[in-house]
Amino acid sequence: MQDDPVIRVVAKVLIPAIMLFALYVQFHGDYGPGGGFQAGVILAAAFVLNAVVFGLHQARQVWPLRYNLIGVSAGVLLYGGTGVWSMLAGGNYLDYFALEADPKAAQHLGILLVEFGVGLTVAAVMVVLFFAFAGRASHIELVAKTTALEATTSKPGSKSSAKTRGGA
């Protein structure tokens, strides 16, 4: 697919639109259907499309491993930090009413922070899983080539097979 210019142009148009839709789902989640999990999966789908169309190496440059680690950590910390903040404010864990004086504003702020933490974590985990499984095929091919190369160079009676067995 990397050689087809039509697919590359369509992907360049679709990827920002998919990311924008993920943001819409993220920030519309406290008013209607959607939220953090759905937005995270949609955002990860944009990076998967990038990897499928432009190649795995290019996708790893766009979203390196350190971004995955930062995304997972920041999302979990944001989710847990919201709960700890509500406990420090005098409420129970994830009791949003303790976050602000106005109960409606407190609920809105609390759910927004929690859903953003969930979305960030889900997107990072989905991308890391994709990279792990997509990179596995190239690893399997490399192992197969190495095994085939070793099999051809270690024929009985050849000098290389005698060296590998400890001979002269």
Residue 159 located in a structural domain = no
103 is a domain residue: yes
Q: Is residue 166 part of a domain?
A: no
Say which residue the tokens 């924008």 belong to.
20
In a domain? residue 163: no
The parent domain of residue 60 ranges over 5-151
pLDDT at residue 111 tops 90: no
In this prediction, residue 161 carries a pLDDT of 46
| Residue 46 domain-assigned (yes or no) | yes
Is pTM beyond 0.85? Reply is no
CA distances in angstroms from 89 to 94, 114, 148, listed in the order given: 11, 16, 64
How much of the chain, in percent, has pLDDT values that exceed 70?
Answer: 83
User: Please, what is the average pLDDT of the chain?
Assistant: 83
pLDDT at 41 > cutoff 90: yes
Asked if residue 161 belongs to a domain, the reply is: no
pLDDT of residue 12: 94
Query: Domain count of the chain?
Result: 1
* 122-133 core/surface letters (b: 16 or more CB in 10 A; e: else): bbbbbbbebbee
Q: Has residue 97 been placed in a domain?
A: yes
| Residue 127 domain-assigned (yes or no) | yes
